[in-house]
Structure 1
Amino acid sequence: MADAPLLVFDFDGVLVDGMAEYWWSARRAALALCPQCTLPEQAPPGFSQLRPLIHKGWEMVLAALELSRPELNLPDYLSHYDRHLQAALVRWQVEPYTLQRSLEALRQEAIDTNPEAWLALHQPYPGVIERLQALSQGGSPWRVLTTKGGAFAQQLLQAYGLEPEAVDGHEQGSKPEVLLQLSRQRSHPIWFVEDRRPTLEAVRATAGLEAVRCFLVTWGYLAPGDLADLPAGISPLEPEQFAAPLASWP
């Protein structure tokens, strides 16, 4: 393509299905904070239902703590997630920073002690590795923008033999902030590929990012109705379209 775009990919839910690792790490972090809590080894259905609403890693730990409560009203929690999130912080007397630090410490311990087992908890989505390799071979620049710790995403990408031009984790700021920095530094048009509709809507609402093309993948951690009535500037991206030449993307 003339004037090839800079492709910016979210990580979890776009490139990799990490649901098993999410629960594995969140459960252990929750039990470290509340040893008397009872949580199953396998992710309960409620965790999968909450996942599309979760924005940052620390929220996963809080979700695990909340799912240990027998009296939890999950439908109401799903309908009023932000309100319940704040109430849960008060209920468990924790801070986001503490939860994030606990989560990342457990992840690092898992990587240090048994990296193969930790890697096995992640599954790249079908065709993703081959597509990203083709982008690199074709000279199309791409990078990763994630709310996961950047070092953890980088280790996974290296294990898959993938080399993005950069990995921006939560340490670099919010996704709109990072995209704004990129838009000021780069002459390439920016295409942002994400599985969380509220994140794309936040990007569309950010002054200075009007020219960023936004894509909502259909294979990620979507909430019911996420693909319905998408606002202008956000296009659904099917697996077949993702695999196709960039010139044919919606």
Structure 2
Amino acid sequence: MLSPSLLVFDFDGVIVDGMNEYWWSARRACLRLHPAIDLPESTPPQFRQLRPWIHHGWEMVLIAALISEQCGPLEQLGVQEFVHDYAAYCTAALKRFSWTPALLQQALEAVRADAVRTDRDAWLALHQPYPGVPERLNAFSEENMAWAVLTTKARDFTAELLASMGLKPERLDGHESGSKPEVLRRLACDWTLSGFVEDRRPTLETVRATPGLESLPCWLVSWGYLRPADFTDLSGAIRLLRPEQFAAPLADWP
């Protein structure tokens, strides 16, 4: 028999705005691997513009390295041209730097672990929950709705952040658990899934194309790290969720 209903949320771009932390950690991870490069302490405009295309943490470290190159592809092409073949340029950069995604992910998580250990409060302060989101998540208990977090961030770091916001999901899965479609399929074996809330349209499209998840309700939040085209031509399978709709009872969501 299935357990009660479960509503699943992405973390970055849905619950929390971590832009300042992304650059803070990515910059330090990049400098650990490539100490000779020069990177600004404040978040560069290119990094903010590229954030909607970044899917995994390791990509942030790679983008930091590309931003440091005065004659590199990002500088030569500009952000708009770079994102036209984002995956290919990232693959080429990995080869050029002789890096792997695993190496970059390990460097990023080491930086975060050091920050949590040495100055936890300062690291937590780099993140800001989106207005009204923590309160709305806590209110789901009044609707007899359990909620979970499914993120590509490491589970331990996500747990630290959720706890600092007074949030306790029924379940928390980080990148260690596997891809989001894989985790959602496993969750569907134990729960009645009421939907998945994300800020990354390609992820929602992949979820809906996954066998067993074709009918899962999917919402794309309007306040996350979205590309301009993400708002256009949405199918009925993926619905745009605005803040005022998110604040309403689940039964009234689009």
- TM norm structure 1: 0.96
Q: Is the 1:217–1:238 contact (alpha carbons within 8 Å) kept by the matching residues of 2?
A: yes
2:224 maps to what in 1?
A: 220
Distance 1:219 1:67 in 2: 25
Distance 1:158 1:40 in 2: 31
Listed one character per residue, the Cα deviations across residues 12-53 of structure 1 (whole Å, up to 9, x for unaligned) are 000000000000000000111111111110111100111100
Listed one character per residue, the Cα deviations across residues 38-74 of structure 1 (whole Å, up to 9, x for unaligned) are 1110111100111100100000000100111112222
Displacement of 1:100: 0.3
2:70 maps to what in 1?
A: 70
Displacement of 1:239: 0.2
How much is the aligned-residue C-alpha RMSD, in angstroms? Answer: 1.2
Q: Is the 1:183–1:190 contact (alpha carbons within 8 Å) kept by the matching residues of 2?
A: no
Q: Is the 1:26–1:61 contact (alpha carbons within 8 Å) kept by the matching residues of 2?
A: yes
1:211 maps to what in 2?
A: 215
Aligned: 1:82 with 2:87: yes
SS of corresponding position for 2:228: coil
Distance 2:134 2:151 in 1: 17
> Could you tell me which amino acid in structure 2 is paired with residue 182 of structure 1?
L
Q: Is the 1:13–1:220 contact (alpha carbons within 8 Å) kept by the matching residues of 2?
A: yes
Distance 1:91 1:189 in 2: 43
Distance 1:4 1:47 in 2: 40
Question: Is there any run of 5+ residues in structure 1 with no aligned partner, and where?
Answer: none
> Could you tell me which amino acid in structure 2 is paired with residue 110 of structure 1?
A
2:31 maps to what in 1?
A: 31
Distance 2:170 2:250 in 1: 18
Distance 2:26 2:228 in 1: 23
1:197 maps to what in 2?
A: 201
Superposed, 1:1-150 pairs within 5 Å as 5-71=5-71, 72=75, 73-74=77-78, 75-150=80-155
Question: Is there any run of 5+ residues in structure 2 with no aligned partner, and where?
Answer: none
Moved more, 166-175 or 130-139: 130-139
Distance 1:231 1:91 in 2: 39
Q: Is the 1:5–1:189 contact (alpha carbons within 8 Å) kept by the matching residues of 2?
A: yes
Distance 2:103 2:194 in 1: 34
Distance 2:86 2:193 in 1: 34
Distance 1:124 1:38 in 2: 30
Distance 1:232 1:205 in 2: 14
Displacement of 1:184: 1.9
CA 4–213 in structure 1, closer or farther in 2 if over 3 Å, else same: farther
Distance 2:55 2:183 in 1: 16
1:160 maps to what in 2?
A: 165
Moved more, 166-175 or 63-72: 63-72
Distance 2:107 2:227 in 1: 27
Displacement of 1:232: 3.0
- Count matched residues: 247
> Could you tell me which amino acid in structure 2 is paired with residue 216 of structure 1?
L
Listed one character per residue, the Cα deviations across residues 156-193 of structure 1 (whole Å, up to 9, x for unaligned) are 1111111101110000000000001111222x233000
Listed one character per residue, the Cα deviations across residues 187-219 of structure 1 (whole Å, up to 9, x for unaligned) are x23300000011001001111101210000000
2:242 maps to what in 1?
A: 238
SS of corresponding position for 1:114: helix
Displacement of 1:122: 0.1
Aligned: 1:151 with 2:136: no
> Could you tell me which amino acid in structure 2 is paired with residue 228 of structure 1?
T
Distance 1:67 1:214 in 2: 34
CA 108–45 in structure 1, closer or farther in 2 if over 3 Å, else same: same
Q: Is the 1:8–1:143 contact (alpha carbons within 8 Å) kept by the matching residues of 2?
A: yes
Moved more, 69-78 or 150-159: 69-78
Superposed, 1:150-189 pairs within 5 Å as 150-186=155-191, 188-189=192-193
Distance 2:98 2:62 in 1: 11
